[in-house]
Amino acid sequence: MNKSISATKKLNVEELNAIFTPLPFKERISKLYDYFSEKEILYTSSFGTKSVFLLHLISQIKASQKVHFINTTYHFQETIDYRNQIADQFNLEVLDVVPGQKENAMTREEKWWEDHPKMCCTINKIAPLEPIIAKHSVWISGLMAYQTGFRKRLRVFEQQGDIIKFHPIVDIEEGDFLYHMGLHELPRHPLESQGFGSIGCTHCTAKGEGRDGRWKGKQKTECGLHPNFFTKKEK
């Protein structure tokens, strides 16, 4: 199909869920390009402990799809090295999304991750991505329901402000996820073997099972990218 279906008909999330939910996750990704052109599709990856599974699928189905990586300047060096390794191995084009220099410097000088972690994430993760989101119609995300209570409530498609979120592997079971990781011998994040179940910025990541090590000791479980942060703006 040379022309995306979205060029003639825009479907809402209910219609999209009715079409996509019954499909296997690999077919969901492939079919997305029937409904949206590649330039309409945004794909972000944290290159964390669970990211490689979806990155591998994308490389098989649409290797030309650009991958946006939010480089907060606070990543572990192991994450940067892992990003480069995966990009080379899967032949993916990875684009860094960076925060404003002055704002980023302020969070560093005042150590906002200690007392203002929500604002630190807003400045270094959310704000830099917002203009990029505005240029796209649908956003591919690798969230999986078994990871957190918030993610357990997600469907394959969700409306998030002006953009549609696409969660092609949201309903995969953890056992199936691990089976596919082993089957395809996908490279693991180097810090995973050291006890890090989930990996983000250095200051807000500790060792722990699953996402237990993220923002440890704080009333925070998500950076703000995936909950309904991007609200519909007045025209």
Instruction: For CA atoms 112, 79, 172, 230, give the dihedral sign.
Output: positive
- The residue type of 120 is C
Q: What region, left, alpha or beta, does residue 100 occupy, with left being phi > 0 and alpha being psi -120 to 50 degrees?
A: beta
Question: Which residues form the catalytic set?
Answer: 223
Check: CB of residue 164 under 8 Å from CB of residue 16: yes
CA distances from 235 to 162, 232 (A): 11, 9
Check: CB of residue 214 under 8 Å from CB of residue 221: yes
6 CB-contact burial (10 Å; exposed 0-12 / middle 13-18 / buried 19+):
middle
For the chain, the residue count is 235
